[in-house]
């Protein structure tokens, strides 16, 4: 095992986005133990997250990682070098990719079409370079019929674990360039490092995280993923290489790491 690709919120981080909280909001060192096990085995840890670059940078710095993937795979930072993975959308001197997406009219179109069911995920939608971040409960297939003509797609990055805004149940949705994805970010990192798909695993809690299973032999869902979003079980029926951890949050990450290390000795 050469690399672990791990999501932050709802996966490595427990309730309240805490590295030291697990199931039941109880203090837990399992996430730290998972990172320690990777360090001892020489496994590179790469965060892949929907968070903006500055936030993921701080998380990567905190755990001593030199590579990370941010904004749902729109960007990869590898040993201090930034690479955009946003086909057809590139930063310009006069306009960020975020502003270019605004100019397409797609965000306004989504908010009008799904009025009362979709809203900006305040305040976390601020300070982004690429993705427009929403919360709500919508049919992504319908949404993508609207925004696909703009070269964009709306992706479901999982259930929001704390109730915010006016919606009782909400998922986090990112409006991003159609060619961007967490899976693409993982694949590009593996290519740059020279890792084979069977040498790496990913752990996450959302449908978008699940797409990494297309470029890896093994993907783990933490237990809380299905507890919060039971419908995701339909997403994994018949799909090879997807495993479900018994543990939630960091405990699930630790389980995935130590199980994989033991099996591959």
Token pair recorded at residue 83: 């690479």
Residue 91 resides in a domain: no
Gyration radius of the chain's alpha carbons: 18
Predicted pLDDT of residue 40:
97
| Number of domains, the chain | 2
User: Same structural domain for residues 189 and 247?
Assistant: yes
Pairing verdict, β 3-6 and 44-48: parallel
Per DSSP, the three-state class of 189 is: helix
Indicate if 188 and 172 belong to the same structural domain: no
Residue 163 has a pLDDT of 63
14 occurs within a structural domain: yes
171 shares its domain with 184: no
Give tens-digit pLDDT for 194-220.
Answer: 999 999 999 999 888 999 999 999 999
The answer to whether residues 166 and 148 belong to one domain is yes
What pLDDT is stored for residue 238 in this prediction? 82
Q: Which domain holds residue 142?
A: 97-177
- Same domain? 118 vs 223: no
Helices H, strands E: what count in the chain? 10, 12
| Residue 152 domain flag | yes
At 124, list the tokens.
């976390």
Confidence (pLDDT) at 230: 84
Q: What does the pLDDT read at residue 88?
A: 84
Which of 67, 2, 4, 70 has the alpha carbon at shortest distance from 31? 4
Ranges of the chain with pLDDT below 50: none
**Whether residue 255 sits in one domain with residue 223:** yes
Q: Which helix (H) or strand (E) holds 109?
A: helix 106-113
Among 177, 202, 223, the domain boundary falls at 177
In a domain, 90, yes or no: no
Looking at residue 265, its pLDDT comes to: 77
């Amino acid at each position: 095992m050469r690399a672990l690709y791990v999501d932050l919120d709802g996966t490595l981080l427990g309730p309240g986005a805490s590295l030291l909280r697990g199931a039941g909001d109880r203090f837990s060192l399992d996430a730290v133990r998972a990172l320690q096990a990777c360090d001892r085995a020489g496994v590179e840890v790469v965060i892949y997250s929907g968070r903006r670059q500055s936030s993921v940078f701080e998380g990567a710095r905190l755990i001593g990682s030199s590579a990370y993937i941010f904004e749902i795979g729109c960007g990869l930072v590898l040993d201090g070098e930034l690479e955009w993975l946003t086909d057809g959308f590139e930063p310009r001197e006069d306009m960020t990719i975020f502003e270019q997406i605004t100019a397409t009219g797609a965000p306004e179109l989504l908010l009008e079409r799904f009025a009362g069911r979709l809203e900006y995920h305040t305040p976390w939608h601020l300070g982004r370079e690429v993705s427009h971040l929403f919360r709500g409960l919508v049919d992504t297939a319908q949404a993508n019929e609207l925004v696909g003509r703009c070269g964009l797609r709306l992706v479901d990055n999982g259930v929001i674990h704390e109730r915010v805004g006016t919606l009782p149940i909400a998922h986090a949705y990112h409006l991003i360039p159609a060619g961007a994805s967490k899976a693409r970010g993982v694949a590009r990192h593996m290519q740059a490092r020279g890792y084979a798909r069977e040498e790496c695993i990913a752990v996450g809690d959302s449908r978008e995280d699940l797409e990494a299973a297309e470029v890896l032999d093994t993907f783990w869902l933490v237990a809380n993923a299905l507890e919060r979003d039971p419908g995701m079980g339909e997403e994994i029926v018949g799909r090879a290489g997807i495993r479900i951890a018994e543990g939630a949050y960091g405990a699930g990450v630790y389980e995935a790491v130590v199980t994989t290390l033991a099996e591959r000795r």
